Amino acid sequence: MIAVIMAGGKGTRITSMYSDIPKSMIPILGKPILEYQIETLARQGITDIILVVGYLGNVIKDYFKEGVAFGVAISYIEEISPLGTAGALFYLKQKVTSDFLLVNGDLIFDVDIKRLLSFHKLNGGVATIVTHPNSHPYDSGIIESNDNGMVTKWLHKEDERFWYKNRVNSGIHMLSPRIFSLFSELKKIDLDRDILRPMICQHILFAYDTPEYIKDMGTPDRLLNVERDVRNGLVQQKNLLNKQKAIFLDRDGTINKDVGFLRKIDDFELIEGVTQAIKKINQSGFLAIVITNQPVIARGEMSFEELEMVHKKMETLLGREGAFLDDIFFCPHHPDAGFSGERKELKIKCTCRKPAPGLIFRARDKYNIDLSQSYMIGDSKTDEEVAINAGCSPCRIGDPCYKESLSCSSLKDCINIILSKKENL
């Protein structure tokens, strides 16, 4: 596979710190961003790399040359005049004949490329965008997709938004060579607005969602955060080739105030301190995954669409304060009949309704999670039981019913105890 890296950016928001080098050459612990990218690709067998350079491109060419010292083969496309985020792909029309990876040059990332490629081939789209949750969705492009991963909506930074799922465009793409039919001439082109977004109505654009490590260096603060994560080994750890650890979270009474059966979006309100607690999870290397029973669906008291809006509100409120959830798993079933308006097809005894461990097992299989190194936090006996049944450590907000359970006064308290135990290992 060929990887194309768009390495010609100037980095307007961070030029005060590095005005004499391209953005992709900004050092992280003494090594350029671009070198980390090349090392990540080479580890996964991607050694044929094309660098698109522009602003101060000689700095990049002088450092990497033909790539021999880095175990790869590097060729260059040099923009004489700026061609936007995609115009230079015109030069690849005769060079690339199979699916290829396109990466923004300002990212530190470590993603399982084979898993991404399998998803891309399975769906048969022209383009697959890698999406992920991040700590600043309010100033990022939001990508919405259906259950099959087909993109249904794209909100740019300036587009109006209210409640939304925290899934943003990461700057990594898997592209089919069919995309070159859209490049009829050499000119300045915006990849997102001119090429990808118009594909939505043609149903040929897909989103591959992942909790793996992908961060840009758009601001000095983000640069400092990435340096910390590289130093701590978090970047490679989050690659799904490696076993992951998760902190599973109950929803009602753990994240949001318990109002009984929550049926209206207006009744959803975060518990004080929850955002800070989840933010700590995000920074720790654990995945933050919600596991929740939602029998209001089976009882006919809320639709799937209404539940989705509640979860979008939850993600939006968390995102405003820099916290995010890696995934949400819910059970819509309820075993008891007799409710007015109930949905009979959901009135079943299932394997996903807590305390059955089905939802946690789905998360385990999706994200390669080591349950023996993971935790389940909730405010009920049921949450303790699902943890025990799944083989992870139970944590109870309040007085526990089982001796195995860690007793906490709040989610924030639980996270502090868990992370302090990790540090003392």
Tell me the two tokens of residue 94: 């005769």
| CA–CA distances in Å: residue 59 to residues 47, 52, 361 | 21, 13, 49
Report the alpha-carbon distance of residue 238 to residue 160 in Å, rounded: 32
Q: Which of 250, 327, 379, 383 is labelled catalytic?
A: 250
Asked if 315 contacts 161 with a C-beta cutoff of 8 angstroms, the reply is no
Does 413 qualify as catalytic in the annotation? Answer: no
Report the alpha-carbon distance of residue 101 to residue 263 in Å, rounded: 43
Tell me the two tokens of residue 376: 């389940």
Report the alpha-carbon distance of residue 421 to residue 388 in Å, rounded: 19
Report the alpha-carbon distance of residue 242 to residue 74 in Å, rounded: 28
Q: Which of 209, 216, 229, 252 is labelled catalytic?
A: 252
Report the alpha-carbon distance of residue 200 to residue 297 in Å, rounded: 30
Report the alpha-carbon distance of residue 108 to residue 229 in Å, rounded: 10
Collapsing DSSP to helix, strand or coil, 79 comes out as coil
Whether residue 355 is preceded by a cis peptide bond, meaning omega within 30 degrees of 0, is yes
- Residue 265, classified by CB atoms within 10 Å of its CB into exposed (0-12), middle (13-18) or buried (19+), is middle
Does 250 qualify as catalytic in the annotation? Answer: yes
Strands (E), 105-261: 107-110, 127-132, 142-145, 151-155, 168-175, 205-209, 213-216, 246-249
Asked if 407 contacts 400 with a C-beta cutoff of 8 angstroms, the reply is yes
Long-range contacts of 385-392 (CB under 8 A, 24+ apart): 385/354, 385/355, 386/291, 386/354, 386/355, 386/356, 386/357, 386/359, 386/360, 387/248, 389/355, 389/356, 389/357, 390/357, 390/360, 390/361, 390/364, 391/357, 392/246, 392/248, 392/360
User: What are the residue ranges of helices labelled H in 255-303?
Assistant: 274-284
Tell me the two tokens of residue 272: 């004080």
Give the catalytic positions in this structure. Answer: 250, 252
